[in-house]
Structure 1
Amino acid sequence: MLNRTPLTLLLLAGCLALPVSLHAQPTPDTLPPKREFRALWVASVNNLDFPSRPGLDAAAFQAEWEAVLKEMAEAHFNAVIVQLRPAGDALYPSKLAPWSAFLVSGQGQAPEFDFDPLDWMIRRTHDYGLEFHAWLNPLRGGLRPDTSGLAPWHPARLHPEWVVPYNNRLYFNPGLEPVRRMVIEVVEELVTHYDVDAVHFDDYFYPYKVSGQHFNDSLTYFQQHQPGQSVSDWRRQNIDRLIEGVSRKLRAVAPEVRFGVSPFGVWRNEVQDPLGSPTTSPTTAYDDLYANTLRWLENGWVDYVIPQLYWSTEDPANPFGRLLT
């Protein structure tokens, strides 16, 4: 059975229909959506959902994925969002990353399968009539603060100057153009070799702020920022460039593949910006993770945005109902 925690379950309509009066004549603007987007996140990091542990044999691997698909089909989901690149590694053969430690017993060791696991997963997913969205964590470099446990050809091991240790993790520095280019190349490799329906990023861009800790990208900032540009504006520019670059690459090499993001649920509070939500969140995507999702939508860089709304209707700062309006 899947671990249906709030971090892995996503059941949202692709768009919200406006209420239709029983006596009013429906118009295109008031008709309900023809099809909802009903998706489930399947997390591989720390073996949260799938696979259940590293080193499964081929039969166990296939049986677990079949169980995921069967449960989703019975619950009438129509898409699955699968974490394929959890920490700079990959659940598929890649020239840009080692095999994931959450798939195999040791990072970089190829599984003893006589098939490509991702190709097989995608084909079986489509057999069930489900879309396959490839979930990538573009900037997570490792789950410990150093590179010693990484495979020798892990990008953070090959280029230690690309990563910043922060909160006992490693993060790729998006202020570096080679880092952004690496992410774009990862996306290009994936959509060129696999029949995915979408590429999906979650809420992790710059890391969540931790009291007393500093994300040390100061040297990159001083080398690259424009005159008068604040650190915050410079960081948002870096993420904008990453998102735009991925979008342009997808449009060029696989225009049929959609690009979606599932950011932190509050873009900005209305006290910070009149376009913000009626919330008082101490954390916002724009100010803390430097993710300006509104700009990405306005520029057409992403095809869909699914905010992560993990609050109750009674939450004093971010009530669920207000965030839906």
Structure 2
Amino acid sequence: MSLQKSGVLIATALLLASCSSKAPKSLVTPLPPVAKQPLATTPAKNTQPVRGIWLATVSRLDWPPVNSVNMSASLRVSQQQAALRNKLDKLKSLGINTVFFQVKPDGTALWPSKILPWSDMLTGTIGQDPGYDPLQFILDEAHKRGMKVHAWFNPYRVSVNTKPSTTADLNRTLSLHPASIFVLHRDWIRTAGDRFVLDPSIPEVRDWITSIVAEVVARYPVDGVQFDDYFYAETPGSALNDNQTYRQYGQAFSSKADWRRNNTQQLIEQVSRTIRQLNPNVEFGVSPAGVWRNRSFDAAGSDTRGAAAYDESFADTRRWVQQGLLDYIAPQIYWPFARDAARYDVLARWWANVVKPTKTRLYIGVALYKVGEYSKNEPDWTVNGGVPELKKQLDLNESLPQINGTILFRESYLEQPQTQQAVNYLKSRWGG
């Protein structure tokens, strides 16, 4: 899509973080509000079942190769590109047709952004140009192989820890263009889950995140955009302190929980409308925790006893489906059929019923990372290399017409010794 066609919306998005000649109230020019625009009608998307995989770049979990970071620039580029080509070849041979590629693992980017500094995952240093464009590279290579790529964003995470060395690395970006949001807007930053995160309640934060998605959708032929389940990502010992912003923005709500859910709702609405305005052919989806709500809390919930997105992440994922804000939803149903507290079949069928009266497609996230791993509570993952459990899950997915695909978490587990029986099974089932 040309920038001209995208109009003022994207022109503004691409100018972000470069407007600091005078000292405005904000060091970042936010994207113009889009939430009040009418929703565009969504054209029919392809109906091929998704056979997908998540490819994580945070902490170099799946890519790039850890040892490539310390190489000379030319060797680093060739090794990172060769590793990605090899992965795509392997995925293609297994019958995988869609890669969910993590382009924003934290407050950095895996493309030459005018909003975010370069990711240190590529070079070891935040803001250092890796010498190529990884997002364009994977798009070119995947499309050449007939595979689709969804750009996977972690919306609010700024860093994976709060170590003094991490703070120092973020502070060193101050002279960069663009610098990290950590130094441009320290007032937006909170600590939660022992990470630096953005406060989801600040309207300018939601504008800023939307502008990052807009930059990618306007500049790249991505097939989709996905947010993972990190909305409010707290832990009991590291809660997000948003008391001040609650006093500032939350007075119209009867509880902080309702206010938080509304903050998440506003981001999803805004991103959904922005993508549809820029390119309605780009699919927008979310991959939430598998449980929306437990029936013990809500009669509409599932017959489960698991951590619920509605109550823990303050994400009303069922509502987004009902309102048509998402092209697809990919709940992470990471339990076997025999896990009584959150049975795979119970949750898959519950989600199938949620999407049934809507146009939202349903892809199920499956726990490849558990296959072959001993678990006292989930012993079925090790029976015959986990193949019978995996087969039951795929059989159910393919038997329910409302389920349009399966996504495996995550790519590097295809290479682990304990998964090889399951990988061979996948190749025989999908790769033929």
Q: Please tell me whether residue 130 in structure 1 is matched to residue 147 in structure 2.
A: yes
**Higher relative contact order, chain-length normalized (CA < 8 Å, sep 6+):** 2
Q: Secondary structure at the match of 2:294?
A: coil
Q: Distance in 1 between matches of 2:95 and 2:231?
A: 31
Q: Secondary structure at the match of 2:200?
A: coil
| 1:42-94 Cα shifts (integer Å, max 9, x gaps) | 00011110111235622111111111110111000110000010011011100
Q: Please tell me whether residue 76 in structure 1 is matched to residue 95 in structure 2.
A: yes
Alignment of 1:164-313 (within 5 A): 164-208=190-234, 210-281=235-306, 283-313=307-337
- Tell me the C-alpha RMSD between the 2 structures: 1.5
Q: Distance in 2 between matches of 1:99 and 1:184?
A: 18
Which consecutive unaligned segments of at least 5 residues does structure 1 have?
A: 1-32
Task: Report how many aligned residue pairs link the two structures.
Answer: 289
Q: Is the 8 A contact 1:145 1:167 kept in 2?
A: no
Q: Secondary structure at the match of 1:82?
A: strand
Q: Distance in 1 between matches of 2:93 and 2:239?
A: 46
Q: Is the 8 A contact 1:145 1:166 kept in 2?
A: no
The equivalent of 2:129 in structure 1 is 110
Q: Is the 8 A contact 2:57 2:105 kept in 1?
A: yes
Q: Is the 8 A contact 2:191 2:239 kept in 1?
A: no
| 1:164-192 Cα shifts (integer Å, max 9, x gaps) | 11232111111001110011000110111
**Taking every aligned residue pair, what percent have the same amino acid on both sides?**
39
Alignment of 1:8-19 (within 5 A): none
- Aligned amino acid, residue 57 of structure 2: S
Which among 52, 55, 67 is matched to residue 42 of structure 1? Answer: 55
Q: Is the 8 A contact 1:138 1:201 kept in 2?
A: yes
The equivalent of 1:158 in structure 2 is 184
Deviation at 1:323, TM superposition (A): 1.0
Answer 1 or 2: which has greater helix percent.
2
Q: Secondary structure at the match of 1:149?
A: helix
Q: Distance in 2 between matches of 1:34 and 1:142?
A: 37
Q: Distance in 2 between matches of 1:316 and 1:301?
A: 32
Q: Secondary structure at the match of 1:249?
A: helix
- Aligned amino acid, residue 67 of structure 1: N
Deviation at 1:293, TM superposition (A): 0.9
Which among 304, 308, 315 is matched to residue 339 of structure 2? Answer: 315
Q: Please tell me whether residue 148 in structure 1 is matched to residue 168 in structure 2.
A: yes
Q: Distance in 2 between matches of 1:55 and 1:98?
A: 19
| 1:247-292 Cα shifts (integer Å, max 9, x gaps) | 01011111111101110010001111121111011x2000110111
| 1:85-137 Cα shifts (integer Å, max 9, x gaps) | 001101110011111011112111101x2x43321220111001001100000
TM-score scaled by structure 1?
0.86
Q: Secondary structure at the match of 2:183?
A: helix
